[in-house]
């Protein structure tokens, strides 16, 4: 199946956090953990939602900042502390009734590879590990935490014919 056909099927985008939604930096201060999220990636997630495409987070770490950001963006499925990502991913798909072929997974490092074996579309940021980039259907020009998710969202929405309508909605305001 060609890339355009894969893109047209996407109904769910599953995202890693560190290295995808962030640049991978973790700032620690006493008992607090800080993460920097890029506003462009948040916009891309909102664009997906407006087009009826769901999003989910599956990450190995547990962080209140991730819960907060997911809540701000309307991401209903935020699965944290998943050192092995495949079992919660498979449970998620079963629970929400979306087949693997209709899922895009975006990851940057080796723990994300099991999901790549069980999704329709594999996406990696430009600075992902070489093993991940080699297996990806799409490698963004942007780095993780610097607009890569927004770029992936635009690619999906353009392939599905949703981008122009979204754009016109902003122009008409």
The pLDDT, as a whole number, for residue 34 is 86
DSSP for the chain reads --HHHHHHH--EEEE-SBTTTB-S--EEETTEEE----HHHHHHHHHHHHTT-EEEEE-SS--HHHHHHHHHHT--EEE-S-SS-HHHHHHHHHHHT--GGGEEEE--SGGGHHHHTTSSEEEE-TTS-HHHHHH-SEE-SSPTTTTHHHHHHHHHHHHTT-HHHHHHHHHT-
Computed over every residue of the chain, the mean pLDDT equals 96
**Residue 32: what pLDDT?**
78
Q: Is the pLDDT of residue 152 over 90?
A: yes
The tens digit of pLDDT for each residue in 93-145 reads: 999 999 999 999 999 999 999 999 999 999 999 999 999 999 999 999 999 99
Q: Look at residue 31 and tell me whether its pLDDT is greater than 80.
A: no
Separation CA 153–CA 121 (nearest Å):
12
pLDDT at position 122: 98
The answer to whether residues 47 and 171 touch, using CB atoms and an 8 Å cutoff, is no
Residue 173 scores a pLDDT above 90: no
Is it the case that residue 68 has pLDDT exceeding 80? yes
Above 80 in pLDDT, residue 1?
no
Domains in the chain with CATH codes:
3-171 (3.40.50.1000)
Percent of the chain predicted with pLDDT > 90: 90
Average pLDDT over residues 36-64: 96
Residue pLDDT, tens place only, 18-27: 999 999 998 8
The predicted pLDDT at position 141 comes to 98
How far apart CA 147 and CA 38 sit, in angstroms, is: 7
Phi, psi of 13 (to 5 degrees): -115, 120
pLDDT at 156 over 90: yes
User: Model-level pTM?
Assistant: 0.96
pLDDT at 33: 81
Q: How far is it, in rounded angstroms, from Cα 141 to Cα 110?
A: 20
Q: Are 14 and 103 in contact (CB under 8 A)?
A: yes
Name 99's bridge partners: none
Higher pLDDT, 172 or 49: 49
* β-bridge mates for residue 121, sequence order: 104
């Amino acid at each position: 199946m060609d890339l355009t056909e894969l893109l047209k099927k996407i109904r769910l985008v599953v995202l890693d956090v560190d290295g995808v939604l962030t640049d991978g930096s973790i700032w620690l201060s006493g008992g607090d953990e800080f993460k920097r999220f890029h506003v462009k990636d948040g916009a891309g997630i909102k664009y997906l939602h407006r087009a009826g495409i769901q999003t989910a987070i599956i990450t190995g770490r547990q962080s209140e900042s991730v819960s907060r950001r997911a809540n701000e963006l309307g991401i209903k499925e935020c699965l944290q502390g998943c050192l092995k990502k495949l079992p919660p991913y498979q449970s998620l798909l079963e629970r929400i009734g979306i087949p693997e072929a209709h899922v895009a997974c975006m990851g940057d490092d080796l723990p994300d590879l099991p999901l790549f074996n069980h999704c329709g579309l594999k996406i990696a940021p430009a600075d992902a590990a070489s093993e991940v980039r080699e297996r990806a259907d799409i490698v963004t020009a942007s780095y993780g935490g610097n607009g890569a998710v927004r770029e992936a969202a635009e690619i999906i929405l353009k392939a599905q014919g949703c981008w122009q309508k979204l754009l016109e909605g902003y122009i008409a305001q």
